[in-house]
């Protein structure tokens, strides 16, 4: 009997990434060479292709020749970085996702009002590195789990506002937010969290299938926060096995020996062609039956 393989929806590019990728295509046509200091989206295969077509990777704005063109990533850059580009009279192509941009503006506004900032997220992720810059000279505390909350200083006489990274596991983030609110009851926020719709939707469908499939395959890069979270969400939701692969080349067919049902999804920064490549590879080399699956599909499990 063929293994059942559910192709999950929604998957793949979110609106922010699709916008950045479209801009990159236009920019290459217009300017030929475009400098970047960060991957404009977190996908290795896509970025390698962009570099082969004219993107030039540098480690800092200082390395870019005066008057050249620079593109900012979907994760945004700090105001300090923008100031450097202005000094060098660079043409700026701003690929920052509008959702990220809105959060940056909120951080700046809170900091301008003298409020301290707590960010729940990964300190080294590009989105958070940039966000910290919007707090100007206001103190920013980055926490990633409940244990970190215990290490925060006494804010009882301070005004504080919290934000979250857009790509966290939103169920886990609720725990951290709850713990933060317990420690700092007067803490402000404009929403329970800043985790974006695309992150939540992709996690929801993974949580649903994790209850009845043997394997979940996430197509995406390991340095993509939302890809890594999808695999973690799958495992914490009960699937026996979940793997994160860049492309069909990383897929070991032997894993299918113990699999009756599986699901495939892709992160918000994965081009759909990479996922389709894997699907076509499975169709041509394995005994699988592919079926679309979204949140409206109960698969007889509910
Ligand atoms: S995951 Fe959300 S916040 Fe991040 S780029 Fe996509 S739409 Fe924007």
Q: For residue range 108-164, what is the model confidence (pLDDT) as tens digits?
A: 999 999 999 999 999 999 999 999 999 998 999 999 999 999 999 999 999 999 999
Give the Å distance between the CA of 130 and the centre of ligand 1: 15
User: What is the atom index within ligand 1 of the atom nearest the CA of 98?
Assistant: 8
Global pTM reads 0.95
Supply the pLDDT for residue 297.
Answer: 87
| Mean pLDDT for the chain overall | 96
Ligand 1 contact, 131 CB (< 6 A): no
Supply the pLDDT for residue 298.
Answer: 74
Last residue of a domain, one of 65, 96, 127: 96
State the average pLDDT over residues 245-257. 96
Q: Which residues pair with 7 in a beta bridge?
A: 264, 292
Query: Do the domain assignments include residue 298?
Result: no
- Number of structural domains the chain divides into: 3
- The question of whether 106 is a catalytic residue gets the answer no
Distance CA 290, CA 126 (A): 36
Query: Do the domain assignments include residue 300?
Result: no
Among residues 119, 101, 266, which one has the least CA distance to residue 187? 119
How many C-beta atoms surround the C-beta of residue 104 within 10 A?
21
Distance CA 255, CA 244 (A): 13
Burial of 17 (0-12, 13-18, 19+ CB in 10 A): buried
Q: Is 12 left (phi over 0), alpha (psi -120 to 50) or beta?
A: left
Question: Ligand 1 pocket test: which of 100, 102, 126 has the largest number of ligand atoms within 8 Å of its C-beta?
Answer: 100
Range(s) of the domain holding residue 70? 15-96
Q: Please identify which of the residues 89, 127, 201, 291 carries the catalytic annotation.
A: 127
Supply the pLDDT for residue 301.
Answer: 57
Clarify whether residues 254 and 212 are in a common domain: yes
Taking CA atoms only, the protein residue closest to ligand 1 atom 8 is 16
How many C-beta atoms surround the C-beta of residue 18 within 10 A?
16
Clarify whether residues 135 and 114 are in a common domain: yes
State the average pLDDT over residues 4-16. 98
Give the Å distance between the CA of 98 and the centre of ligand 1: 8
State the average pLDDT over residues 42-71. 97
In CATH, what number is assigned to the domain containing residue 112?
Answer: 3.40.1010.20
């Amino acid at each position: 009997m063929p293994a059942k393989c559910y192709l999950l929806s929604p998957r793949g590019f979110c609106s922010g990434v699709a916008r950045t990728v479209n801009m990159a295509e236009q920019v290459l046509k217009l300017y030929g060479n475009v400098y970047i200091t960060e991957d404009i989206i977190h996908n290795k295969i896509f970025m390698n292709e962009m570099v082969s077509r004219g993107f030039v990777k540098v480690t800092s704005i200082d390395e870019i020749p005066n008057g050249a063109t620079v593109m900012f990533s979907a994760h945004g850059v700090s105001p300090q970085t923008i100031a450097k580009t202005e000094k060098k009279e660079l043409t700026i192509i701003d690929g920052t996702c509008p959702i990220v941009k809105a959060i940056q503006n909120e951080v700046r506004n809170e900091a301008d009002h003298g409020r301290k900032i707590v960010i729940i997220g990964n300190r080294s992720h590009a989105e958070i590195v940039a966000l910290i810059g919007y707090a100007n000279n206001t103190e920013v505390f980055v926490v990633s789990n409940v244990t970190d909350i215990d290490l925060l200083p006494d804010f009882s006489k301070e005004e504080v506002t919290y934000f979250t990274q857009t790509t966290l596991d939103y169920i886990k983030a609720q725990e951290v937010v709850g713990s933060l609110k317990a420690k700092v009851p007067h803490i402000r926020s404009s929403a329970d969290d800043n985790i974006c719709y695309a992150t939540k939707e992709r996690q929801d469908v993974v949580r649903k299938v994790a209850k009845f499939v043997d394997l979940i395959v996430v197509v995406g890069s390991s340095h993509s926060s939302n890809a890594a979270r999808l695999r973690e969400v799958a495992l914490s939701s009960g699937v026996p096995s979940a793997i994160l692969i860049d492309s069909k080349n990383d897929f070991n067919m032997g894993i299918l020996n113990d699999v009756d049902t599986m699901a495939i999804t892709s992160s918000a920064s994965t081009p759909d062609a990479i996922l389709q490549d894997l699907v076509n590879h499975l169709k041509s080399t394995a005994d699988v039956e592919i079926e679309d699956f979204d949140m409206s599909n109960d698969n007889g499990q509910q």
